[in-house]
Amino acid sequence: MKPKYKVNLKELARLREWKAKNKKGRKQKLEHPLQYYRSFIDIDAVNSISRRHLYHCPVQKRLVHLLSDGEANAYKRLMYEPDVIGIREQFPLHLPKTLKIASKLRFIHPRNWKTKELYIMTTDLLVDRVNFTSGEVYQQACNFKYWDAIYQYTDEGIVIKKSWRTWQKNQIEEIYWLENNVECIQATERDSTKIAVQNISWFQMRHDLNVAQSELQYFKRLFFKSYSNNPRAWLEVHLAYVCKLMGASFRDAQAIFQFAAYHHELSLNIEYPIRLSEPVAVNL
């Protein structure tokens, strides 16, 4: 028996409004290529008791709507990756296509279970990346779920999937993107730890620091020399050594460190807390 569906006029009207806003915004001269983007779902439209984030992204220069702590961490972790140009969150999928895919799979398309009205499916994070070798810009779709919501351990310690309905919706989304030659990945909070995101957030505070290339290279040489001489020293010891030889303030040296770390000029292990009063793990 085929599932029953009804057209959701409010959803379609919201989609038209979203398209119009983004079309208008795209025509503006902006600092970032995706600064115009507006999320299809904003945090006020979600009927959930979970924590939501209205985050001002200093890189994309706009407000970003993120629907959980884990999704917010995933966004910040992705933005830190050097080949990521920008990210569109809560990106709507073409309803006729997702409906067709669901029909082929014999899955029920997401809908209001009482009224049978169709929901427009969305991808949590649509990432624009650049291939540094070819210069080609390509996309990657990222679906975020908490690990415990979609996986579990058996008594033998083997990881298996659970929540079959969630995986059905994930499969519709994955096929949708594959038909558009876009990879769709499943992300969980284990891909973006709180410690890593805390480090990235600190680095990001100085992501747009105005520093000359010659000054940056000089900082790196001094920092690496200090670290090579004493890798177990606290971070503030290395920065004190650098600022003394550069003739700069400690605050300026710290700002250059944050800038260099965010732009991968320094290869750091961000899975450990990076604090002034602790050693820092550097890959020389």
Domain residue limits, the chain:
9-192, 195-262
CATH of domain 9-192: 3.40.1350.10
What is the CA 156 to chain-centroid distance, rounded? 33
Residue 214's pLDDT is: 96
User: Cα(171)–Cα(101) distance, rounded to whole angstroms?
Assistant: 9
Taking the CA of residue 176 as centre, how many other CA atoms within 13 Å lie in the half-sphere pointing to its CB? Answer: 30
| Token digits of residue 239 | 């920065």
- The segments of the chain whose pLDDT lies below 70 read 47-50
Cα separation values, 227 from 21, 126, 128, 222, 278, Å:
50, 38, 35, 9, 13
What sign results for the dihedral spanned by CA atoms 139, 144, 147, 152? Answer: negative
Cα separation values, 241 from 203, 217, 223, 249, 262, Å:
20, 15, 8, 11, 21
Cα separation values, 177 from 1, 3, 18, Å:
28, 24, 20
User: Cα(223)–Cα(241) distance, rounded to whole angstroms?
Assistant: 8
Residue 49's pLDDT is: 59
What residue spans of 65-205 are helical by DSSP H? 69-80, 95-105, 147-150, 164-178, 194-204
What residue spans of 212-249 are helical by DSSP H? 213-229, 235-246
